[in-house]
């Protein structure tokens, strides 16, 4: 069963892994992490209680993190579906 995360939780974990807030446009916040040869950018929907599974998977892909990085850092809600 898939797990659901809030925007606030995702932002907290991204910041723990070195991402910092850059800007916000509409309802999406931009976070970046500088690396020696590139800058990694992650877009997170702002102020959402539950991020859809597909959106969460996109955030994982953009950040290079794994779901286990999020799982070990908080309590999560079970997806009732």
**% of the chain exceeding 90 in pLDDT:** 70
pLDDT single digits (tens) 37-68? 999 999 999 989 999 999 999 999 999 999 88
Domain count, the chain: 1
Question: Does 15 reside within a domain?
Answer: no
The pTM score is 0.81
Q: Indicate whether 60 belongs to any domain.
A: yes
**CATH code of the domain in which 33 resides:** 3.30.920.30
For residue 51, the enclosing domain spans 20-66
User: Rounded to whole angstroms, how far apart are CA atoms 6 and 34?
Assistant: 24
Residue 10 resides in a domain = no
Tokens found for residue 81: 């579906």
In contact, 70 and 5? CB cutoff 8 Å: yes
pLDDT in tens, 22-33: 999 999 999 999
DSSP 38-60: -EEEEEEESS-SSB-HHHHHHHH
Cα dihedral angle (49, 54, 58, 64), rounded to 10 degrees? 90
Residue 62 placed within a domain: yes
Taking a C-beta distance cutoff of 8 angstroms, is the pair 66, 60 a contact? yes
Domain membership of residue 12 (yes or no) is no
pLDDT: which is higher, 34 or 78: 34
């Amino acid at each position: 069963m898939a797990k659901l995360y809030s925007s606030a939780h995702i932002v907290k974990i991204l910041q723990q892994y070195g991402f910092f807030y850059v800007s916000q446009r509409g309802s999406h916040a931009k976070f970046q992490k500088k690396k020696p040869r590139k800058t990694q950018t992650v877009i997170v929907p702002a102020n959402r209680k539950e991020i859809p599974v597909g959106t969460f998977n996109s955030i994982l892909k953009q950040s290079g993190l794994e779901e286990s990085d999020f799982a070990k850092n908080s309590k999560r809600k079970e997806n009732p579906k």
